Structure formats: structure tokens, C-alpha cells
């Protein structure tokens, strides 16, 4: 039967589809929902991926304690674990561990007695003066004796830094002329007073020692003179040797020796009003600290000689 002419076929009257929409629709139809092609409904859906079960992480001691997961332990390993558990567990009150009891019962070694220090032998008293040896022939004491025949002197050698030196002992009345000769005689030429010092010999008196040197001759001379404690007076030589100025003042401060003829014999190390206190005399009372130091020196004498 032929349709009426005014009615049209819907397919013929529909506008042609857009190319982009058709392409997108075709892709959507091919992919489908959840990866299934709608043209093949009988196709099996892919099974979702199954993740492996997470195994519980057990501690080493739990694995060992579980025989199903770790299996049977060797006998020595089991004994070691048991011993560790026993040592870790606290002991009951009043009960000592086995090791502590064993150590307490063990006899302690007897300490060795300290070695006694041998008694130190008493030291012999040292002589007050060095041995006096006669000077060799041709020494400067012969020049002095020949130039001053009326002066009594005792000559001997004394040690010095290098070699030996000649020393003479004279009376205080002869001091000035001996020192003048030592300075002015060309054979001696002892123009340098190196040192002047005092010595306390206690009951034997006080002594003044002069050390002379020559700048042109290879010799030195030591001059000594001694006075009593009751009359500690010596002639001054500051006019001959200007260096004796301060030396004589220091010796007066420390030993109480008066140098007759000195123009300014006032204290130089002590206060000016301190004229009856002589610190370097042996009869000067010691301070407490000095007595303590002296006792320690006597007790420790000779230590370190072994």
C-alpha cells in the first residue's frame, strides 16, 4: 500500500547526524560500562584483583613462642631462652639469685701486706766549711803576701763556677790596705767588686765576704774577715769600690754589721726605724710558717735518694 503523499518517512526527514557526536557516541558504545561491550552482553566481566592478606608482624619472641609458626626449637636454644627468662624475672624478696649467692660464698683473696719501707740511715752532720786546700804555686796570694809582709793571712782555694778561686782570711784592721792593693796593683787588677755578703757563724761570730774579679786577668779573689757578736764593726770600703755602698747597707739590715766610715748607713730593705731586728741572723725568731716548713724539711730529708 502506498503511503499518502503528504506523509513522510521519519528516517528520511531526520537531519544528518553531526560527525563529532557520532564519533563520540561510537567510542562510548565500544567501551561500555565497566569495560563490558553492550554488543556482547554474554561476555564475562573481568574479576576484580584480590590483594593478598596482610600477615601480622610478630615479634621474634612471639614467633619463637608459637610452635605452629616457628616449629620446634632445638634443645640448646630452648634452654637458652628459658635461662634468659629466669634471669630477667625479678627474684622474690629475701631470696638472692644463684649467681649472687655463689659469689658471696666464694672466699675472698687475702690482701698482701704492704711492704715496709726500710729505715733511712741517719745522715752524718755536714762540715760547716769546705776543706781548705793550699793554693798552687804562683797564685795571687803570693803577690799579696810579698807586697804586704806585715799582714797575717790564711790562703786556700774555694770552688767556683769554673775551676777554683783563691780565698784569704784577714783581720778587719788589715781590710782597707788589702783591698787597696788588690785594686791598684797591676799584677792583680781586681777592680770589680762582684758581691759583698754576710754570714752568721753563731757563737763563732759574724763574717763579711768580698768577691773581687779582674777584667784583664784570668783570676778572682775572695776576701773574708770575721768579727764578734759583741763588736760587729767592719771598716767601709765604699770609697774604694762604689758598688759597696748598697751592699754594705743591705748587710747591715740583714745581719746587724756596722760599716765604719760609711756616709749613709741607713736601712735600705727595712723600715728606717727598725735598727734592732736582723732577719738573716740565726737567732732571729721564726714565724709559724717558717717553723712548719723547717719541720717538713727535716722529716723529708733524704727522700727520693733511693
For every residue of 202-217, DSSP letters joined together read GGG-EEEEEEEE-SSS
Looking at the predicted structure, is the pLDDT value of residue 220 above 90? yes
Structural domains in the chain, sorted by start: 140-292 (3.30.460.80)
Per-residue model confidence (pLDDT) at position 110: 74
d(CA 212, CA 188): 10
Q: Pairing state of beta strands 220-227 and 206-213?
A: antiparallel
Q: Which residue has the cell 741517719?
A: 122
Cell, residue 220 = 778572682
Per-residue model confidence (pLDDT) at position 245: 95
Cell, residue 163 = 775551676
Cell, residue 244 = 759597696
State the DSSP code for 13: H
Please compute the mean of the pLDDT values over residues 122-143 and round it to a whole number: 77
For every residue of 52-68, DSSP letters joined together read PPPPPPPPHHHHHH-HH
Picking from 175, 231, 224, the residue whose alpha carbon sits closest to that of residue 205 is: 231
Picking from 193, 273, 282, the residue whose alpha carbon sits closest to that of residue 229 is: 282
3-class secondary-structure state, position 274: coil
Picking from 105, 185, 91, the residue whose alpha carbon sits closest to that of residue 146 is: 185
**Structural contact between residues 136 and 128, judged by C-beta atoms closer than 8 angstroms:** no
Least confident of 70-74, 125-129, 216-220, 271-275: 70-74
**Is the pTM higher than 0.75?**
no
The residue with greater pLDDT, 57 or 112, is 112
Start-to-end Cα distance in the chain = 152
**Structural contact between residues 280 and 253, judged by C-beta atoms closer than 8 angstroms:** no
Amino acid at each position: 500500500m502506498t503511503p499518502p503523499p503528504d506523509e513522510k518517512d521519519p528516517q528520511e526527514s531526520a537531519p544528518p547526524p553531526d560527525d563529532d557526536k557520532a564519533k563520540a557516541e561510537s567510542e562510548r558504545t565500544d567501551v561500555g560500562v565497566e569495560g563490558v561491550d553492550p554488543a556482547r552482553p554474554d561476555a564475562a566481566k573481568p574479576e576484580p584483583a584480590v590483594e593478598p592478606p596482610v600477615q601480622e608482624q610478630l615479634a621474634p619472641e612471639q614467633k619463637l613462642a608459637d610452635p605452629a609458626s616457628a616449629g620446634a626449637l632445638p634443645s640448646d636454644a630452648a634452654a637458652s631462652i628459658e635461662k634468659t627468662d629466669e634471669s630477667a624475672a625479678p627474684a622474690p624478696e629475701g631470696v638472692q639469685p644463684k649467681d649472687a649467692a655463689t659469689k658471696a660464698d666464694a672466699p675472698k683473696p687475702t690482701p698482701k701486706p704492704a711492704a715496709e719501707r726500710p729505715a733511712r740511715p741517719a745522715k752524718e752532720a755536714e762540715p760547716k766549711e769546705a776543706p781548705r786546700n793550699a793554693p798552687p804555686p804562683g797564685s795571687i796570694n803570693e803577690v799579696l803576701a810579698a807586697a804586704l809582709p806585715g799582714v797575717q793571712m790564711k790562703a786556700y782555694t774555694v770552688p767556683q763556677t769554673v775551676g777554683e778561686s783563691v780565698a784569704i782570711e784577714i783581720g778587719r784592721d788589715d781590710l782597707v790596705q788589702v783591698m787597696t792593693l788588690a785594686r791598684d796593683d797591676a799584677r792583680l787588677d781586681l777592680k770589680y767588686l762582684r758581691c759583698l755578703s754576710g754570714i752568721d757563724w753563731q757563737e763563732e761570730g759574724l763574717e763579711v765576704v768580698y768577691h773581687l774579679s779582674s777584667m784583664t786577668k784570668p783570676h778572682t779573689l775572695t776576701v773574708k774577715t770575721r768579727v764578734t757578736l759583741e763588736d760587729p764593726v767592719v771598716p767601709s770600703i765604699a770609697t774604694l769600690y762604689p758598688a759597696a755602698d748598697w751592699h754594705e747597707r743591705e748587710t747591715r739590715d740583714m745581719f746587724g754589721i756596722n760599716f765604719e766610715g760609711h756616709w749613709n748607713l741607713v736601712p735600705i730593705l727595712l723600715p728606717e726605724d727598725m735598727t734592732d731586728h736582723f732577719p738573716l741572723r740565726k737567732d732571729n725568731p721564726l714565724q709559724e710558717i717558717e717553723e712548719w716548713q723547717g719541720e717538713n724539711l727535716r722529716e723529708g730529708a733524704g727522700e727520693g735518694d733511693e
